[in-house]
Amino acid sequence: MTIDGIATPGKIIAVHLNYPSRAAQRGRTPSAPSYFLKPASSVAPSGGTLERPAGTELLAFEGEIALVIGEPARRVSPADGWRHVASVTAANDFGLYDLRAADKGSNVRSKGGDGFTPLGPALIPAASVDPAGLRVRTWVNGALVQEDSSGTLLFPFGQLVADLSQLLTLETGDVILTGTPAGSSVVVPGEVVEVEVDAPDAAGHPTSGRLVTTITAGTAPFGDFGAKPATDDLQRIEAWGDRERAGLPEPAPEPEPNSAFELTPALREHLSTVGVATLSVALRKRGYHDVFIEGVHSNHPGRRLVGRAKTVRFIAFRPDLFERHGGGFNAQKRAFDTVEPGEVLVIEARGERGTGTVGDVLALRAQVRGAAGIVTDGGVRDAEAVAGFEIPVFSQGPHPSVLGRKHVPWETDATITCGGAAVQPGDVIVGDGDGVIVIPPHLVEEVVAEAVAQEQEDAYVAEQVAAGASVDGLFPMNAEWKARYRAEVEGR
């Protein structure tokens, strides 16, 4: 069987991304080509119609250069790949974004429908053109919407043939669709799409002629025995090419992390009375298991720490990076010089305790500015002097070395990992003799309420044990003890 003189291919192999312009539009550039298969039944001639199925909205065109294999290729080199191409022509790799999710990336239904691969109308002999000198253009209703050159391809034609031939034999008549440039978009019933491939600099200016497809509206509904068309704004943006063409408003700017939360005096007071151990239990109940900053201890045993995080991140030492980022008013000094009253400076030092991450001068600066404390998973320099300050400092312990021995001060006010816990600017930091915990702001109120109630129960249990009660049934309280506890609370 032939269509416009082109034999129906045994297989059609299409490349996902190949033009830099399209990769930029998609926001990703592949390091190697990837492919999908289209059925031979999707091939259609020039001048035909393509039905947009009933119940769908996102039928998109993709003008492409199609390679038609001549001599079979198996395990050929990129340098020899082009020699196995007999001819090139125009193709339109139509796709239905409404069915993109149906086959988890295989594109069987989204790109394999009848008529979804128009080819032709004429073949250009490969021997007559430079593989880097071909042009592909697409028009919709007579307006040029796509234009690019094979000279810009991420993966040249010879490489595609060689890559595919490593695992499968490319047989005579097989077709490779080589990717589409930027400009692909949605077409609707009544619109006409034309694709042309030519070699403008070759002798005689060979051309495929215009591959013409008219879009019509389907009427047959989808049955209830398979995936139904479905779409969302992300699919609309990808199908149309951008948000504006999809008719979608610009999204509202996202608020800064934790910006809506306020650590009120009442919350701060409650957090100053409940233990880190109790808070950790409440957080674990909600699935937060890695919110404890491991390995840090206070320079003021018995002192508590409550505040919102201001973050600093150090990266591993490298001479050239330290030369550029370590001197002057660096990230470390900026953080200590701009910390606000009630904030806790939280320093990511990668758990490296073999050098200081804060010393007496910066600790004093933080104290003068009203900081609620300092937490570092590294060491503290000038430890005796720092211990004499009022500001609580939680660290892995003292070390006399300067910052540049192990660290480069890199950035402030970013999400960090301190002592194995993720910390975002504005997170609530609580420290006591058990260590330091991180509470996401949206959980603070419910966690505090639960922790306060739990500590009241714990205090009651402690009173009973002090009075001689056995812990059996009391710790934790069984139903009988809980009833006694509730009666006593209500009596108060």
| Sign of the CA dihedral with 157 first, then 162, 168, and 170 last | positive
* CA dihedral of residues 57, 61, 67, 68 (deg, nearest 10): 60
Give the C-alpha distances (Å, rounded to integers) separating 348 from 62, 75, 155, 376, 484: 48, 51, 42, 6, 47
Three-state DSSP string of 402-445 = CHHHCEEEEEECCCEEECCEEECCCCEEEEECCEEEEECHHHHH
Q: Which of 120, 180, 183, 130 has the alpha carbon at shortest distance from 153?
A: 180
DSSP-derived secondary structure letter, 187: -
Q: Could you tell me which residues are annotated as the binding site for substrate?
A: 359-362, 381
SS3 (DSSP) at 65: strand
Give, in degrees to the nearest 5, the angle at Cα 483 between 481 and 489: 100
Contact at 8 Å (CB) between 343 and 335? no
What ranges in 432-478 are assigned the alpha helix state H?
Answer: 444-466
Q: How far apart are CA 237 and CA 242, in angstroms?
A: 5
Q: Could you tell me which residues are annotated as the binding site?
A: 359-362, 381-382
Q: How far apart are CA 132 and CA 446, in angstroms?
A: 64
Q: Could you tell me which residues are annotated as the binding site for Mg(2+)?
A: 382
SS3 (DSSP) at 278: helix
- Which residues is 314 bridged to in the sheet? 409
